[in-house]
Amino acid sequence: MRDEALQRFGLVALATDMTIEGDAVRLMPPGTRLHVTRIAFDNPTTEENLRDTGPRLRAAVDLIVPGVELAGIGFGCTSASAVLGSSIEALAGGRAPVTTPAGAALRGFGALGLDRVALMTPYLEATTDLVGDHFQARGIDVVRRSSMGHADDRDMARLGAAEIIEMAEASDHPEAQALFISCTALPAVDVIDRIEARLGKPVLSSNQALFWSMMDQVRIPAAGPGALFRCRTW
């Protein structure tokens, strides 16, 4: 494929994330390229440490193939994107539109016609509330919040499929129209279809939503797991 036919995207990942690049390989469609940089991150995932990612964004974005046009930039942290909110665009420097997992989840909820969700995270309870409160403030009724109790995203990345599926089933709620599984470090993408089959409702995860939204915003067809990848907003 000729270079000018490629759509290039950037990704700012946390230094400690061991999952997001592997998920990107599965979810980025032909005709696209992803260029990844990382920023320092200090565990545990407290609000203070998450907020500290903001001032590091601009320098990281500037390192993504300088001088090359990007169709979009992903920021790889759900809880930090909930904490930083709408300030992320400015913090990233305006080089290209920025997609975050929290924003992508909200876009996905809208595409699927959802306004009541259950929230599952591998985080400590306080970090889970940062994401849940972010959704609530934007009109999503979070009917259940479930935390696995991990403080370090490297531990979250090592969780096995059986444990994730079991927690997902326990995190569901009869009033929830869908389950959102938070955290870009959590290896949830490969089990989304299995969880959807068990719950009988849409299941969204941070990385699934992030890459779906990045492609949906620029109208690039993409394939992936779950009901979300069968939706388009265009």
Regarding whether 197 and 157 lie in a shared domain, the answer is yes
Domain that holds residue 153: 103-206
Q: Are residues 40 and 112 in the same domain?
A: no
Tell me the sheet residues that pair with 204. 180
Cα–Cα distance measured from residue 71 to residue 64, given in angstroms and rounded to the nearest whole number: 12
**Is 120 found in the same domain as 47?**
no
Q: What is the mean pLDDT of residues 133-157?
A: 97
190 and 216 part of one domain: no
* Interatomic CA distance for residues 132 and 120, integer angstroms: 10
3-state secondary structure 131-171: HHHHHHHCCCEEEEEEECCCCCHHHHHCCCHHHHHHHHHHH
* pLDDT over 90 percentage in the chain: 98
Work out the pLDDT band at 24, boundaries 50, 70, 90: very high
User: The whole model's pTM is what?
Assistant: 0.96
Q: In the chain, how many H helices and how many E strands?
A: 11, 8
Among 3-7, 48-52, 202-206, which is the least confidently predicted range? 3-7
Which DSSP state fits 123? S
Q: Label the pairing between strands 203-205 and 141-147.
A: unpaired
CA distances in angstroms from 148 to 103, 140, 170, 171, 221, listed in the order given: 23, 22, 11, 10, 34
How many structural domains comprise the chain?
Answer: 2
CB 9 within 8 A of CB 70: yes
Q: Could you report the per-residue pLDDT of 79-98, keeping only the tens digit for each?
A: 999 999 999 999 999 999 99
CATH number (domain holding residue 177):
3.40.50.12500
**CATH code, domain with 43:** 3.40.50.1860
Q: Does any domain span residue 231? A: no
CA–CA distance, 89 with 222 (Å, rounded to integer): 24
* 87 shares a domain with 34: yes
Instruction: Answer yes or no: do 68 and 23 share one domain.
Output: yes
Residues 94 and 142 in one domain: no
**Mean pLDDT rounded to a whole number for the chain:** 97
What is the per-residue pLDDT across 155-176, written as a single tens digit (0 to 9) for each? 999 999 999 999 999 999 999 9
Nearest partner of 93 among 50, 65, 64, 57, judged by Cα: 57
Q: What is the reported pLDDT for 4?
A: 64
Confidence of residue 30 (pLDDT cuts 50, 70, 90): very high
**224: pLDDT confidence band, cut at 50, 70 and 90?**
very high
Predicted pLDDT of residue 205: 98
Check whether residue 41 and residue 59 sit in a common domain.
yes
Confidence of residue 2 (pLDDT cuts 50, 70, 90): low
Residue 230 in any domain: the answer is no
H helices of 41-182, in order, are 47-51, 57-62, 78-84, 88-92, 101-112, 125-137, 153-157, 161-171
Q: What is the pLDDT of residue 1?
A: 45
For the cut 70, the answer to whether the pLDDT of residue 103 exceeds it is yes
